[in-house]
Every structure is written in structure tokens, then in C-alpha cells.
Amino acid sequence: MRLFYRVDEYIQGGFFDEKSLYAVVLSIGLLVTGILPVSAHEHGTSLSADMNMKASAYMQQQVKSDMKLTLNGKPLQLDESYLIDSSLFVPYRAFAEGIGSEVSYDAATQTVTVKKDTKTVKLTIGSSEADVDGSLISMVGPAQLINSSTFVHSRFLAEVFGIKVLYDESTRTVNLISGGTSGSGQEVAKTYYVNMEGFAFKEGEITVEAGSSVIFTNKDKVKHNAVADDGSFKTNLLATGNSESVTFTKPGEYTYYCEPHKEFMKGKITVK
């Protein structure tokens, strides 16, 4: 009752005429019942569209590959492989077992474990970091599910176990060269890691054995490379998360620098 009394009072007092007051009330009703739901609907539609666009873009990056793989000249049989951002991803179990590794999978943590000789590598689905004997190493891309199977970056998994990766573009063949052959008594080449992070080569000065490979990985948001002072090696400019391997066959000291940041970004590798 008091509400109608106040409305009537406002009309009589000359604050609003009757039509103006009804217009105000109607506007408030439209605001509450109409605008808010529309706004929420538009927000939800926009968010859904944005997520769909991102998912679509991600799926487009996966291209089925026709590349062939060999290990020491013999075909390595895989059911399928994919190119993701120009990097070859392969089914982890078939690839790992093909290069002589033992594999296991923890469904609870979605973690793949690959063991070969004395080295253990753990890869978690969705993560671009690999646990190599307790140290975290960046990869080009994460282990990921494709058609319900776990796929991993082939070059990383090969090089982490000291296997050279050579690509023959004319035959579209990835040739894997093992550091030693079974029963030869030859020591398997070792692999070391140097991370480019915080505008520095984090490992600083390292000592490796002749025949070993060093994998340079960029963790910064800007591009870096590694260039030997004596001109013996030079990596490409590496974008964030990218890696490149350099093999050292001759003993000696190799000082190097990052070309874009040569004044302060330096390192040294001693080969015995």
C-alpha cells in the first residue's frame, strides 16, 4: 500500500507525470529481465567461440606424416606418425622399443617412462618438459594423445639416448644412427644439455667425452643460438622451446657465444 501511495504522491507533487513514471518503471523492468540475460548469453557465446577457434587451430597443426624411419639402416616400423609444427611425433611405445628401450606407463599421472642403459626419461602428457635422470629438459612440444595413443617428439627421444638423427629430404627418410652396435664393445655416445635461459648459458662450462652430443635448448622468450669462436659449429637461431644438437668428435676447448647477445652470453665446452 505504501508503494502506491508514494507513486501517487510523486505524481501529485509534480515530480513526474503519469506517463513518465510508467516509462521509468518499464525501463527498469526491461533492464532486469532483458538486458542481463542477453549479456550473459553473448558472453557465453563469445567464450565458446574463442575456445572452439583455439581447439580448431590446435588440431590443424597435426598433419599425418609419410616419412620413413630407419635405425642403423634397418626400417623402424611404426603404425603412424604426425608432423606437428614441422616436428615429427611418433607413438612412444613402438619407437622406444624399436631403439632398444624399456617402456612403461602410469595412467594415474599420465606419465611415460623410457629406460635405456643407465638413463631414465619420464614424459608427462601435456608437458613440454622431460625428466631426464632427475633434471628437467625442455622439448619442442609436449607428449600428447592422438587417436588415443601417446605421441612424443622423435628427435628428442632419440638424441637423449645418444642416437644421431639425420634426415634425407630426397627420400623423406629419418635415419637414426646408434652410437654403438650390439656386441661391439663400443661405448655408447653420451648426451649433455645446455639451456639458454635468462640471457645466459645456464650450465656455463661443461666437460664432455669425445663423440658426445650437446643439446642446446632455448627457454627464453627471444631467439638465441650457439656459435663457436673457432667456427667449428653454429646452431640456428632457436625460438622458445626449440633445441639443436652439436656433436664433438675432437678433443679440445671450444668457447662459444650467442650471436645476438655476444657481449655477455658466452660458454665453454671442454672435450676430452
Beta carbons of 160 and 190 less than 8 angstroms apart: no
Residue 260: pLDDT band with limits 50, 70, 90: very high
CA atoms in the 13 A half-sphere facing the CB of 117: 16
- Better-scored residue on pLDDT, 65 or 211: 65
Query: Percentages helix, strand, coil for the chain, rounded to the nearest 5?
Result: 25, 40, 35
Nearest Cα residue to 244 out of 218, 262, 222, 269: 218
Angle at 216 between CA 211 and CA 221, to 5 degrees: 175
Q: What is the pLDDT of residue 265?
A: 96
Residues 6+ apart with CB under 8 A from 145: 125, 151
Mean pLDDT of 92-113: 93
Residue 203: pLDDT band with limits 50, 70, 90: confident
What does the block give as the cell for 113? 617412462
Residue 208: pLDDT band with limits 50, 70, 90: very high
C-alpha to C-alpha distance for 155 and 190, rounded to whole angstroms: 15
pTM score above 0.75: no
Q: What is the pLDDT of residue 2?
A: 47
* CA 27 to chain CA mean position, Å: 53
pLDDT digits (tens, 9 = 90+) for 24-55: 555 555 444 444 343 334 344 444 444 444 43
